[in-house]
Amino acid sequence: MSLFQKITEKFGIDTLFSSRNDDATRDFVRGYWGGLGLIAILFSMSYFMLVSALNQQADLVGLVNLIVNQNSLSQEIGKQSLILQDCQTDRQCENSKKILIETSILFEKSQKILLAEEKRLKVSSVVLDSLHQKNKYAFYPILESANEIAKLSEKIKNEKNNEFTKRKMDLYIQKILHKEKILHKEQNYTKILSDLASEYNLEAHTHIQTIKLYQSFLLGLAFLVLLGLVLYLFPPIIHKLQSYLNEIETDKKETEGKNLEISIAYQKLKEQEEKTRQNANELQQKNDDLMRIQAELIQSNLEIQNKTEALKESYDIIEAQKKLQENQFFETSLNHFSQVMRWQSEQTIYTWANKFLEEIVPFVNGLSATLYVYDDETELLHLVGDYAIERGEAFQFEEIKLGENLVGQAAKSLQSIYLTELNGKTNQYAHQLATETISPSSIFIMPVTQNETLSGVLEMTAVEPLEEKMLLFLKKLKEGIGSNLMALQDQKRINQLFADSQMAEKRLKKSLLKIKENEERFRKLSEVTQEGLVFLQDNLIKDVNSVLLKMLDYDNQFEILGSHYINLIAPKYRFEIEDTKLLDDGLAHEMEAVKKNGETFPIEIQARNANFGGEMIKLISIHDITERKKTQEELEKANRIASLVGELEKKNRDITASIEYAQRIQQAILPNEKVIGKGFM
């Protein structure tokens, strides 16, 4: 879009008479604004030329002022040179010399400024170039003579006691003034500067005359443009305006005829309006009823939304409750089986394994199970426990090599194997009841490890596929099973080593070394357990594991070694423990422990006797039940909310019934579409 089109669009000129779509009018408008734009451009050019001329004139006047200043300085140099020649007193001579030096410095600076300004203006003229050349030749002799006179004056001052030398210097100054003709050169230099000023004034006058000539030409051209606008644009538009007036008169007559027709139609419209008003009153009454019902529905919907939000929050709480219950299940189950797997001093690995399987198989809804321990010396898996297994021809694997059948493969790969949908191909695992034979539908084989080292394999069958929760629980439990299997296997080896210790001194030393290794394993077992362990000897702390140190915020075990174990218990429980010997019953008790900083927290504590390094000691296990307490509180809160959910659901059903009733009323009140539109036909 051109600049002209943007201007006409901004001021709305281009739409003038647009209803007629007249080319002559449009051409007039465009020509009119085009002429005004051209005149504006011409006046702008004239303005900028005038500004340029004034700036040039100001530069030339400034240059003339510099020339006048240079002229004054050259005259001052001549004046001070004469005064310096005839000065009578030292003070007068000193002042004259000082003025001469300062004037010479200013004279030299002014000459540099003058030359720089002449170079910047770049005024081209043969006369000016000649005068500039003369200016350079006349300037330097004057400046050099003034500097030489100043130096001689300084020497005269220094030789003031030598009348002969002073007189000689005065004669030399006169020689410079007359022989070098400094005064004559100063007059010539003044004349050159005057000629330069005259030439620059003439140049400025010539420049202004040229600008005036251009301005006159531009103003004349603008006048011709205005004259063209008057002669060629206005007559066509006047002719068109006359045509428009004639058309308006014709349209006026046609409008009078149409007004008569409109008057007749208006009377008919008034009659129809009266009928419409009657129908509108009836419709307004029905509409008021409808609005009232709609308001009731909106209120009901708001109540439903509020109840829905409350139900949504309740459902979220129920989901959180389920998650809390699941977490509580894992925590409670792990704690329970930690107690089950906690071996007693009189237990063997076989009695421990059978007791563990008796607990774990019914817990996960299993059918039967076997537990193998891994012997790293023979690299064989040995059966140490079974549950609901019929020993006979079908059962022949009491020792299994790594990679042999599914149990050996699970041990070799350290990966669990879970088989479902066996389609009855489990004869060796079938169980004969009084009335029927039960075959399992799933088999789960899990290697148990300690610190990623194979300890044994747990094999379990089930009538139905195991729940995901139970599979996850078994995987969480495998590290604890492996730790206990390893400890029991080591204990078995310790007993065997002690039984054979009298055979030979060499074997005795080897056995003692093995005992130390097993004690270290026992310590590692205490480190990987989830409970804090305290080893006591005469009620004094002999050793602790890292879990207890972290639980009580101690940096290292040396802070509490050798102290009485009662110091770990909160003060309000100490009397009960010592007076009633609470920990001697071997049961778990809930109380509070105290941290290093004095803070207390809930724990579950249990004491038992254990064989450690060939001597009987008391072992105290401490379990942090803070999260269990929080979970119990949250479950109680969730149960209260669940009861409220039932009430909200009942109220929601009542509100839904009310809404359905209101909708039936609305359908009964609203009229049929044909009835509503009948009054407007």
If the chain, 681 residues long, is cut into consecutive pieces of 10 residues, what is the mean pLDDT of each piece?
51 46 64 75 77 72 75 73 66 74 78 74 61 59 66 62 51 49 57 69 72 77 75 70 79 83 84 84 82 83 81 78 82 85 78 90 91 89 87 63 90 90 60 64 90 90 88 87 80 65 57 55 52 88 89 91 92 86 83 93 89 77 88 79 70 65 58 42 34
Give the closest residue to 588 by CA, choosing from 270, 328, 336, 323.
336
Q: Is residue 167 part of a domain?
A: yes
Q: Which residue is associated with the tokens 């009054």?
A: 679
Q: Is residue 221 part of a domain?
A: yes
Q: Is residue 121 part of a domain?
A: yes
Beta bridge partners of 374: 381
**Collapsing DSSP states into helix, strand and coil, what is residue 456?**
strand
474: Cβ–Cβ under 8 A, 6 or more apart, which residues? 360, 364, 444, 446, 458, 460
CA gap 557, 550 in Å, rounded: 10
Tokens of 348: 């063997």
- For 72, the domain range is 22-230
Beta bridge partners of 605: 589, 622
Residue 600: left if φ>0, alpha if ψ -120 to 50, beta else—which one? beta
Instruction: Provide the pLDDT for residue 363.
Output: 92
The stretches of 342-414 forming alpha helices (DSSP H) are 349-363, 405-413
Instruction: Provide the pLDDT for residue 485.
Output: 83
Pair 621, 602: CB distance under 8 Å: no
Count how many residues are written for the chain.
Answer: 681
Whole-structure pTM value: 0.36
DSSP 233: T
Which H helix or E strand runs over 127? helix 126-158
Q: Is residue 133 part of a domain?
A: yes
Which H helix or E strand runs over 605? strand 600-612
Spell out where 545-599 has E strands. Answer: 589-594
Q: Which long-range contacts (CB under 8 A, 24 or more apart) does 389-397 make?
A: 390/431, 390/432, 394/427, 394/428, 395/428
Q: 380-390 in b/e burial notation, b at 16+ Cβ within 10 A?
A: bbbbbbbbbbe
Give the number of other Cβ atoms within 10 Å of residue 365's Cβ. 13
Q: Is residue 289 part of a domain?
A: no
Tokens of 147: 């500097």
CA gap 34, 300 in Å, rounded: 70
Spell out where 248-335 has E strands. Answer: none
CA gap 351, 363 in Å, rounded: 19
Instruction: Provide the pLDDT for residue 426.
Output: 56
Instruction: Provide the pLDDT for residue 176.
Output: 52
CA gap 449, 430 in Å, rounded: 29
Which H helix or E strand runs over 38? helix 23-86
How many degrees, rounded to 5, is the angle at CA 368 between CA 365 and CA 374?
115
Beta bridge partners of 591: 603
CA gap 325, 331 in Å, rounded: 10
> Within the chain, what is the greatest distance between any pair of CA atoms?
162
CA gap 411, 396 in Å, rounded: 18
CA gap 562, 536 in Å, rounded: 9
CA gap 479, 472 in Å, rounded: 13
Tokens of 4: 């002209």
Tokens of 675: 């009835």
Domain count, the chain: 1
Pair 382, 373: CB distance under 8 Å: yes
Give the closest residue to 329 by CA, choosing from 531, 470, 484.
470
Instruction: Provide the pLDDT for residue 265.
Output: 83
CA gap 606, 602 in Å, rounded: 14
Beta bridge partners of 94: none
Q: Is residue 95 part of a domain?
A: yes
Q: Is residue 105 part of a domain?
A: yes
Give the closest residue to 18 by CA, choosing from 26, 28, 7.
26
CA gap 166, 326 in Å, rounded: 123
Tokens of 529: 């357990």
Tokens of 81: 């040179």
Tokens of 566: 């009662």
530: Cβ–Cβ under 8 A, 6 or more apart, which residues? 334, 338, 480, 547, 623
239: Cβ–Cβ under 8 A, 6 or more apart, which residues? 24
DSSP 465: P
Instruction: Provide the pLDDT for residue 680.
Output: 32
Pair 342, 608: CB distance under 8 Å: yes
Q: Is residue 71 part of a domain?
A: yes
CA gap 626, 28 in Å, rounded: 95
